[in-house]
Amino acid sequence: MTRKGVATRQRIVEGAAAEIRERGIAETTLDHVRARTGTSKSQLFHYFPDGKDQLLLMVARYEADRVLTDQQPQLGDLTSWPAWQGWRDRVVDRYLTQGMDCPLSGVIAQLGRTTPGAAAVVSELMTRWRSEIAAGIRHMQEIGEVDPGLDADRSAKALLAGIQGGVMVMLATGRIDHLEAALDMGIESLRR
Amino acid sequence: MTRKGVATRQRIVEGAAAEIRERGIAETTLDHVRARTGTSKSQLFHYFPDGKDQLLLMVARYEADRVLTDQQPQLGDLTSWPAWQGWRDRVVDRYLTQGMDCPLSGVIAQLGRTTPGAAAVVSELMTRWRSEIAAGIRHMQEIGEVDPGLDADRSAKALLAGIQGGVMVMLATGRIDHLEAALDMGIESLRR
DNA sequence: CGGTTTTTGGACTCACAGGTCCATTCTAAT
DNA sequence: ATTAGAATGGACCTGTGAGTCCAAAAACCG
């Protein structure tokens, strides 16, 4: 594949992701992607021979990566209480900005049970996300700010679940307060 | 509408709900619903003149009701720590049994942004669910088992978010541990 | 009963989205 | 410069699934 080829391919994935974010997964057709990215049918199937499902899977990967990179550098540096607060603000801000669209949830709802790859993308995202949070908790335990008796992994799971649910509630209702409550209470429960 | 009519209508909604639970929203067509419920095209459009979207909305309502009724009577009687534990087990059990399908999330992903009604169904579900949890917390405060300084609504929001996220993680990855961690830590944070 | 409305069956239409194909143009390497 | 392989344009095909329509059967009501 030539340089031009990879550029086109990338353009297609990003365009598809943007299109899905805007119109939702159910309403996005290949023609929409075509129009937005200025490509032809043949290009779509040239770069994604397995068709729409394959493209959607690539979009899922792309969006999954974004979820974590959008939280950096804060997520990777949970080494003080102000840092935790900064991360918390970052997460809230991201979803506030993004508004009521979660590209991933849509893609998963569509591919989830059929395509095995889609579930793997989310699984990996959750694992990485949780382990970053857990690392932060362990660091706080080491510097004596968190009870060393706490199960860091379990707390990370609960906190992550709270975030996910908070985002979900926001997507469905437009309200950010559940996400804030989950984050704040999750962090508070560490401090004691 | 005659008695026979309402029965048919009900049969269609329940059949559609079951079909969606089994095959997923993206794969469910009106013909599938037809086949399962033993109805004809004309019946579908007789009872749901606005077509598929209207039917889906009814399914969403039906499933939203089920979510809460499936948690009764425990959810309505959070009056002691064993009762909380019983509720927690009930929730875990329900989602464990149900497996990796959340009819609502799919329906929302499909209708969410387009149909205003779909978002309303979820909003109302969340509100009712949260207020039941909050009522439980307040009761525990009244009998002196929970710190009266705690903001019951805020705690309920966080706990609900944890449940939602736990379910979501389970749907995506098949793992129940996030849901358990969220529930357990949420309840623990009340006890102290 | 008789007339009226509701319910039902199923054939039909139609738009559209995914996917195929081939001809043409461009890229890059020798 | 030539040539093989990659990239592109766009016409075309096709299955399918939502939605329409009319006529027949059943239910209701006086």
Q: What is the mean pLDDT of residues A150-178?
A: 94
Q: With b meaning 16 or more CB within 10 Å and e meaning fewer, what string describes B87-122?
A: bbebbbeebeeeeebbbbbbbbbbbbbebeebbebb
Cβ contact A16:A55 at 8 Å: yes
Quick check: A40 CB within 7 A of strand D? yes
Same domain, B21 and B66: no
Give the tokens for residue A168: 């979900």
CATH number for position B40? 1.10.10
Model confidence at A100, pLDDT cuts 50, 70, 90, reads low
Residues B93 and B160 in one domain: yes
In total, how many domains does chain A have?
2
| pLDDT band for position A174 (cuts 50, 70, 90) | confident
The tens digit of pLDDT for each residue in A60-70 reads: 999 999 999 99
Per the CB < 8 A criterion, the answer to whether B107 and B113 are in contact is: no
> Tokens 């013909």 correspond to what residue?
B31
pLDDT of residue A14: 98
pLDDT level of residue A113 (50, 70, 90 thresholds): low
Residue A73 preceded by cis peptide, ω within 30: yes
**All residues at 6 or more sequence positions from B47 whose CB lies less than 8 Å from its CB, including other chains:** B5, B8, B9, B12
* pLDDT: which is higher, B92 or A192: B92
Where residue A131 sits, what CATH number does that domain have?
A: 1.10.357.10
Of A29-33, A133-137, B106-110, B163-167, the poorest mean pLDDT is in: B106-110
Best mutation target among B130, B160, B177, B178 (most A Cβ atoms within 10 Å) is B178
**Cα–Cα distance, B123 to A133 (Å, whole number):** 29
H helix intervals, B38-151: 41-47, 52-69, 81-98, 103-111, 116-142
Note the pLDDT of residue A44. 98
Q: Which domain holds residue A129?
A: 58-191
Listed residue (A106, A1, A161) closest to B159, CA to CA:
A161
A158 part of contact set with chain B, CB < 8 Å: yes
Determine contact, residues A179/A170, Cβ cutoff 8 Å: yes
DSSP one-letter code for A146: S
> Per-residue confidence at A26, pLDDT binned at 50, 70, 90?
confident
Are B11 and B34 found together in one domain?
A: yes
Tens digits of residue pLDDT in B73-100: 999 999 999 999 999 999 999 999 987 6
Q: Are A144 and A186 part of one and the same domain?
A: yes
Which of residues A165 and A104 earns the better pLDDT score? A165
Same domain, A71 and A138: yes
Question: Given this model, what pLDDT does residue B63 score?
Answer: 94
Give the Cα separation of A156 and B178 in Å (integer).
9
- Of B residues 6-65, those with CB within 7 angstroms of nucleic strand C are 6, 8, 38-43, 46
Q: Is the domain of B37 the same as that of B121?
A: no
Run of H or E including A131: helix A116-142
Asked whether B183 and B163 are in contact (CB, 8 A), the reply is: yes
pLDDT at A144: 96
- Are B135 and B65 in a shared domain? yes
**Contact (CB<8Å) A182/B162:** yes
Examine the domain organization and report whether A22 and A85 are in the same domain.
Answer: no
Q: Is the pLDDT of residue B113 over 70?
A: no
Binary contact (B162, A162; C-beta < 8 A): yes
Nearest residue, CA→C1' of D17: B29
- Asked if residue B184 and residue B115 are part of one domain, the reply reads yes
Mean pLDDT of B168-175: 88
A120 in contact with B, Cβ within 8 Å: no
Per-residue pLDDT band for A111 (boundaries 50, 70, 90) equals: confident
The ipTM assigned to this model is: 0.92
Instruction: Compute φ and ψ for A168, nearest 5 degrees.
Output: -60, -45
A84 and A177 in a single domain? The answer is: yes
Q: Are residues B80 and B151 in the same domain?
A: yes
- State whether A17 and A66 are in the same domain: no
User: Which of A27-31, A95-99, B66-70 has the weakest average pLDDT?
Assistant: A95-99
Mean pLDDT lowest among B16-20, B59-63, B99-103, B132-136: B99-103
**Residue B145 burial (CB < 10 Å; 0-12/13-18/19+)?**
middle
Question: Cα(first)–Cα(last) distance of chain B, in Å?
Answer: 55
Closest among B59, B64, B57 to B111, alpha carbons compared? B57
* Residues from chain A contacting residue B161 (CB–CB below 8 Å): 161-166, 168-169, 178-179, 181-182
Estimate the crossing angle of helix A103-111 against helix B152-173, to 10 degrees: 40
The structure tokens listed for B185 are: 């830590």
Mean pLDDT across B143-171 = 95
**pLDDT given for residue A2 in this prediction:** 94
- C-alpha distance from A143 to closest chain B C-alpha (Å): 23
Confidence category of residue A129, pLDDT binned at 50, 70, 90: very high
